[in-house]
Amino acid sequence: MIGSYWKPTEEILGYLDGRNKLVLMGCGGCATIFQTGGEPQVAEMARILSEHGKTILATITPPLGEFTCFVPHSKPYLEKHLDKLEQCDAILMLSCGDGLQVVRKVVEEDYGLMKAIVPGLDPVGHMGGGPTLFEEKCQQCGECLLGRYAGICPLTQCPKGLLNGPCGGSRNGKCEVNPDHDCAWVLIYERLKALGELDRMKGEPITKDYSKMTRPRSIDLSPVAVDTA
């Protein structure tokens, strides 16, 4: 899931300067789980913006499980509010940047509407865990090496992203860059030891194919049928 925070109201109002008739849209996926773009947060944002003199033409709030970044989920909700989208000066998105750009593309290319669209959230990356504490575990490098690292990602968990052993700065199992965190390489060592697989640390040095991180990346599922139920 993609974690996010609300942007400062002043920043949002800056984007909306001179744009008074608004459509607000949230997301029933990550932003609902992170309590930044679910129905209560969209309602609260509508209240705040109304107090600042904005006219809210519509609030679009896909329910839990309906992802704004997934066109088959978000498009029916946009379709229902097409008249308001035509009338608005701007769309404010309480979603991640994926959701915002998916909606921008649908509104522009499918409906032929050239509308300002602005972010209400600051996304902070993919995170797992819950129900209350979420942590970044994977940076989607395109070549997963967890099989070599006992299920602990040094690329993400080590601030230096060291792939072939520790830097030597660890003290009492903690990271020298961030002493609040365990050293990734101590964790990898301890886990391999518990698994009886310390020999894995003696293998050939890892050379990572960073070309797999070249952006923008894409996945084309056609002609595979996608079950959206």
H or E element that contains 124: strand 121-126
Contact 160, 167 (CB under 8 A): yes
Question: At CA 182, angle to CA 181 and CA 187, rounded to 5?
Answer: 150
Which is it for strands 21-25 and 134-135: parallel, antiparallel or unpaired?
Answer: unpaired
Min dist. Cβ of residue 229 to ligand SF4 (A): 28
- The sheet with strand 21-25 has its strands ordered as 55-60, 21-25, 90-93, 116-119
Q: Name the segment binding ligand SF4 (CB under 6 A); options: 11-19, 37-45, 78-86, 174-182.
A: 174-182
Q: Name the segment binding ligand SF4 (CB under 6 A); options: 77-85, 108-116, 128-136, 177-185.
A: 177-185
What single string gives the DSSP state of each residue in 151-202?
T--HHHHSTT--SSS--S--BTTB-SS-TTSB-HHHHHHHHHHHHT-GGGGG
Contact 206, 141 (CB under 8 A): no
Min dist. Cβ of residue 1 to ligand SF4 (A): 14
**166 near ligand SF4 (CB under 6 A):** yes
**139 near ligand SF4 (CB under 6 A):** yes
- Complex with ligand SF4: residue 10 or 209, whichever CB lies closer: 209
- Complex with ligand SF4: residue 4 or 170, whichever CB lies closer: 170
Q: Judged by CB under 6 A, which of 36, 156, 189, 192 binds ligand SF4?
A: 156
**Residue type for position 205:** P
**134 near ligand SF4 (CB under 6 A):** no
Partners of 24 in beta bridges: 59, 92
Q: Judged by CB under 6 A, which of 183, 188, 189, 192 binds ligand SF4?
A: 183
Q: Name the segment binding ligand SF4 (CB under 6 A); options: 15-23, 25-33, 54-62, 166-174.
A: 166-174
Residues that bind ligand SF4 (CB under 6 A): 138-141, 144-146, 153, 155-156, 158-160, 162, 166-167, 169-170, 175-177, 183-185
